[in-house]
Amino acid sequence: MNNQRYVVIDVETTGNSPKKGDKIIQIAAVVIENGQITERFSKYVNPNQPIPPFIEQLTGITNEMVEHEEPFSAIAEDIFELLNESCFIAHNIHFDLGFVKHELKRAGFDGLECNVLDTVELARIVYPRFDGYKLTELSEELKLKHDNPHRADSDAEVTAMIFLHILDRLKRLPLPVLKAIRRLSWHLISDAQELFDSLIIQKDGRSELEAGYIKIGSFVMKAPDTQAEDFEESRSEALPETLIWEEEGGLSSLNHFKKRDGQTKMMKEVWTAFSNHEHALIEAATGIGKTLGYLVPAAVHAKKTEKPVVISTFTTLLQQQILNQDIPLIKQIFPFPIKAAVLKGRSHYLCIHKFEHILHEDDDNYDAVLAKAQILVWLTDTETGDLSEINLPSGGKLLWERIVHDDRSYERNRPYKELCFYERAKAKANKADLIITNHALLLTDEINQRSRTADADTLIIDEAHHFERAAAEQFGTRADYVSLHKKLMQLGTLKQRGLLKKAERLFRSFGISSESFFQMDEWLSQLIEESDVFFTSVHAFVKRRKPKKDVNRLLYKVAQTGENRAWSRLEEGARRLCAMLFYMHQLFLDQKEQLTGKTVSFTSRQSFLLEEYQSCLAYLEEYGKKLGRLFFEPAEDEVVWIEIDAKGAKNAASVYAQPLDAGEMLADRFFTEKKSVVLTSATLVVENSFNYMIKKLGLSDFYPRTLQIESPFSYDKRMKIMIPTDISPIQNDHSEDYIQDVCRYIKALSKQRNAKVLVLFTSHDMLRDVHQLLRDDIDFPCQLLAQGVSGGSPVKIMKAFKSCQHAVLLGTNHFWEGVDFPGDELTTLIIARLPFKPPDHPVESAKCERAKKMGESPFQAVSLPEAVLTFRQGIGRLLRSEEDSGMVVILDRRIRTSSYGRVFMKALPPALVEEPDFLELEAYISGLNA
């Protein structure tokens, strides 16, 4: 360890900007010397101005606590002496350093000299797998005690402990990794060179690489585990003659298993479908143990037939649950080994060859440098090379796109074939009994390439209510400004540092004419300008026709015929763009021909450059074909639409096409090819019938087996359903009376003791209106969170909601399904509106038009069943286990007053339904709190 003295500082302040007059109200310091905490300092500071109420609420520091304290100027000399010629450490260094320097300067101490280290940045590098890097998130991950968040003394102490953990992690990194990060450190916020130099000196005497690592060029990887537990062959007992779910005692005789009749029913049904080579739909309600219900017969079938069973999910969350929770359970059941593997698309896996080249590029982009440093550390412990494991900065996603495995990585990685992550994933899948994948990959040809999955004709489709939608997206196409712009910027003009300039220099160095590059440069400059003009026109075209105020995403369905003059101008713009992309491709073909005519031996780095250049131009060629198809060759049985970000950049537009009947394509391309496909979900039934889902999935001609398994939950004891009687009728999203009523009920329901309330909306505009009113209500009794308003992704908002003791969460699409709030994490579920899709949604309206042409009622054939399935998913958020309990409140009187309301009522669980007015509901809540 070096002899550097580290001083960890944290300040609490009246606001965010010292330049705008905000002041420090508390400062704390923790001194670290020789790896030990040697000194602590903490002081309240009188800011000589009132502390804003929200700061008092956040920190717990009141005006009374600071009014008799000294101002900062009185302790400025002590702080200066504490910090001078030390290393200043803080969690988000710019904030704390900015305030301290500003206050010191005001007190006459302007010459502070110290290096700085930011623990946010360092934690991102050494803990690249962590979900978040806030102080509370890191203390939770590292199991550190953090009693008083947003108090300087507590925050400084935790930051110091985090820094010591970071030091310990850095000490354990292999020497080549430390040296590689040291080379990158000039572009970091932290002055980390001295720190890395000291760590490198400590290790430099060791010539050999530590055991368990393999050196690849200038970086290090964890050596593959050839004796992975999943593939041990030690247990090789024969398959039992009696199926385990048919044995006396069966699963219930094993530890950790509780006998569930529904689960046994499901196992028998899955086995029967597999044995008879039939397709099947199984609706398995929450609580029956659905995942084990199909994994157990799938494992037996795989062993008996010596062919893998493929299990496909819609979400990565369920994939991880199956692999990490459920597979270990079924391994306890059988006397023979069960081998399971996850297989994802190439773009999930890092290409070793690409990373080696890109690591050495000069790069002053902060996010790219940070991402490189994170990947260097991650490679020392990852066994999968899967993007889902690493938390890259937003700009780091651009770097990832350059280093992912592609169809040429197989050849490039030949020297590292045993190490290639994608090939290792496929090799594992080739030996697996159960292959876990996702709907999108399953519906492509990629899953069958050089893989044993081509032999798999028996499948489980979990989260099957999403399968048709996944198919429509997979069989459709898309062209947008952002993806085109990214590739054009990667290519760059000859005046920029992109691929075009690098390729031109390479050609010139081998005596090949660079004339075509100057022509391409001219086309590229025009293409950059034309693409911006075109997508700006597309954006304006939609905005004029959908002039909704306060709406972010606007969608416009493109008619197959009869568009107006404005549309003709868009077509002309698309035609010009396609032509330019075509000419660019022709110039590239000329360049390839020139290159082929030369006998040239390229270095590895030169070959990599040419591959990137070729890949970029191949993408642009394909993009031109997609754009041409969308505007000039749409199929009769597909819907084409445009989406714009109304409040975003003026060129933020995308054009989509999807088949109207993905089910028909599934029948031809998927179900016909398979012996047995079992589709399962908690919501496949509408009005106690599978007919809608059978038709939607294209299974009508296959006469699939069907089974509906009811939940074992005691809904009559655990759930109360309330449908208030005095809610204003719904006329449109912006009915003021209705919005006021929704707010009134949310506020009343949030007054329950320790209430955790989830409110589900179908419209983001309505959610924002409700949020605005509740936020402005000074008497609102608890924390208020809102998707798309509070900031952060839905996952972060969900985490924040779970961590609150008393809160209301307003959510839209993301929260209707796929999120779990077990136990007291959710006590009340409010459904603001029945979840009908907007009638002008392009896919919805196109399907309705198609139903009308076929002589069906669009509402009965499309809108109603889709809404009922979403409604059932929403209701399912409340009870996730037998011990859960709570209340569902439906604020849409149409469930009782409309002719179709009975269909939604039938979809409700068998729980007690009450219809109170507002006063009766308030009285009920008062009784609960008594």
Looking at the DSSP assignment, which residues form a beta bridge with residue 10?
A: 28
Distances from the Cα of 381 to the Cα of 127, 182, 353, 575, angstroms? 11, 19, 18, 50
Q: Quick one: CA torsion of 792, 793, 796, 800, rounded to 10 degrees?
A: 60
Give the list of residues 6+ apart from residue 240 with CB closer than 8 angstroms, or none.
247, 335
3-state SS of 2-56? CCCEEEEEEEEECCCCHHHCCCEEEEEEEEEECCEEEEEEEEECCCCCCCCHHHH
Place of tokens 């290790």: 203
The packing angle between helices 918-929 and 736-749, to 10°, is 20
Place of tokens 């999968």: 384
Looking at beta carbons, which pairs linking 633-638 to residues 24 or more positions away fall under 8 Å? 634/558, 634/560, 635/659, 636/560, 637/661, 638/476
> Annotation-wise, does 284 bind a ligand?
yes
CA neighbours within 13 Å on the CB side: how many for 592? 12
Looking at the DSSP assignment, which residues form a beta bridge with residue 435?
A: 310, 341
Parallel, antiparallel, or unpaired for β 213-216 and 219-222? Answer: antiparallel
- The single-letter DSSP state of residue 664 is H
Give the list of residues 6+ apart from residue 357 with CB closer than 8 angstroms, or none.
604, 605, 608
3-state SS of 440-459? HHHCCCHHHCCCHHHHCCEE
> Annotation-wise, does 618 bind a ligand?
no
> Annotation-wise, does 192 bind a ligand?
no
Contact 333, 254 (CB under 8 A): yes
> Annotation-wise, does 487 bind a ligand?
no
Q: Which amino acid, one-letter code, is at 603?
A: T
Q: d(Cα 274, Cα 310) in Å, to the nearest integer?
A: 12
Q: Closest Cα partner for 271 from 291, 234, 300? A: 300
Distances from the Cα of 52 to the Cα of 57, 69, 384, angstroms? 9, 18, 49
Instruction: Report CA Rg, the chain.
Output: 31
Looking at the DSSP assignment, which residues form a beta bridge with residue 887?
A: 720, 828
Give the list of residues 6+ apart from residue 311 with CB closer than 8 angstroms, or none.
294, 295, 298, 322, 434, 435, 436, 437, 459, 460, 462
Tokens of 215: 């050196």
Q: How far is CA 84 from the centre of its chain?
A: 43
Contact 485, 534 (CB under 8 A): no
Tokens of 565: 């003059």
Distances from the Cα of 576 to the Cα of 143, 562, 617, 837, angstroms? 59, 21, 18, 36
Parallel, antiparallel, or unpaired for β 309-313 and 553-558? Answer: unpaired
- The single-letter DSSP state of residue 759 is E
> Annotation-wise, does 160 bind a ligand?
no
> Annotation-wise, does 762 bind a ligand?
no
Give the list of residues 6+ apart from residue 408 with CB closer than 8 angstroms, or none.
611, 615
Binding site feature residues? 284-291
Binding site feature residues for ATP? 284-291
